[in-house]
Structure 1
Amino acid sequence: MSAAALISSGVILLTVVGIAYGGTFLLRVVNGAFPANELQRSYFRAGHAHAGVLVVLGLVVRLLLDQPTVPDWGRSLGDLVLVAAILMPAGFFLSVVGRDPRAPNRLKVLIYLGAASLVVGLVAAGVALIVGGVALS
């Protein structure tokens, strides 16, 4: 791995500490210490879960793509998984801000942009790994 990739991976790994701290917010919501309606509770749970899973998945994808035979485009597009780890949780949290919202606001588009980023990143990573494997054989 390059120095830049190692440093950025370290920073990404440290974000998991922030995600874990976000779990304390989720506990306050569930325990009633932070007022939230059912829509907000559901979206907060989804945002927290997606953040944790997608950051770890993004790091795994990054490690898998760090092979000399994997094309550069695969490494670049594979990082879209990490972009999804930002967009999707942001969409879940930001689309239900406010007092007692009845429906998500327009920022729910971030959820769909994150999903598209995730799909493109995973497909590109999968194809790049196959290309890299074929180059080895």
Structure 2
Amino acid sequence: MSSALAITAGAVLLTVIGIAYGGTFLLQVGAGKVGTNDLQKKFFRAGHAHAGVLVILGLVVELYLDLARVAPLWRGLGAGVLYSAILIPAGFFLSVLGRDPARPGRLMILLWLGVASLVIGLVSAAIGLITVGVSA
């Protein structure tokens, strides 16, 4: 494992503490201790779930790219998976802040930027890995 990946993985693993803390917030929402409407509840759950899944997926993608020694271009673009782990949950959480939103606000754009980042990251990682596999 490269030192760059070790540092990245260590930093990303620290974000899991924040995700776990977010779980305690969801428990308070579910118990009715935090005033939320149905839209907020759904978006908070979706944001939390996406954060956890995308962090794990991002780490796995980074590990594969590192182990296969994929070219720097594809590795750089493949980092989009980890960026999506920030952008997608942020879109879910931030777009429904406020007293009682009836629909998502402008910050929903973060979700769509995250989806684009995820797709670019996955396609780039796949191309990089397939290229290494074919040339081996």
Same fold flag (TM > 0.5): yes
1:74 correspondence with 2:74 = yes
Q: Residue 67 of structure 1: CA displacement?
A: 3.1
List structure 1 segments (4+ residues) > 6 angstroms apart after TM superposition.
none
Q: 1:24 aligns to what?
A: 24
TM-score (structure 1 length as normaliser): 0.95
What CA distance in whole angstroms lies between the structure 1 residues aligned with 2:103 and 2:69? Answer: 47
What CA distance in whole angstroms lies between the structure 2 residues aligned with 1:71 and 1:4? Answer: 14
What CA distance in whole angstroms lies between the structure 2 residues aligned with 1:26 and 1:68? Answer: 38
TM-score (structure 2 length as normaliser): 0.96
Q: 1:122 aligns to what?
A: 122
Q: Residue 2 of structure 1: CA displacement?
A: 2.5
Aligned partners of 1:62 and 1:79 also within 8 Å: yes
- RMSD over aligned CA atoms reads 1.0
Structure-to-structure mapping, 1:95-106, within 5 angstroms = 95-106=95-106
Q: Aligned pair in 2 of structure 1 residues 9, 69: CA closer, same or farther (>3 Å)?
A: closer
What CA distance in whole angstroms lies between the structure 1 residues aligned with 2:66 and 2:4? Answer: 13
Structure-to-structure mapping, 1:1-137, within 5 angstroms = 1-67=1-67, 69-136=69-136
Aligned partners of 2:5 and 2:66 also within 8 Å: no
SS at match of 2:103: coil
Aligned partners of 1:69 and 1:133 also within 8 Å: no
Residue identity (%): 61
Structure 1: state its 5+ residue gaps.
Answer: none
Structure 2: state its 5+ residue gaps.
Answer: none
Number of matched residues? 136
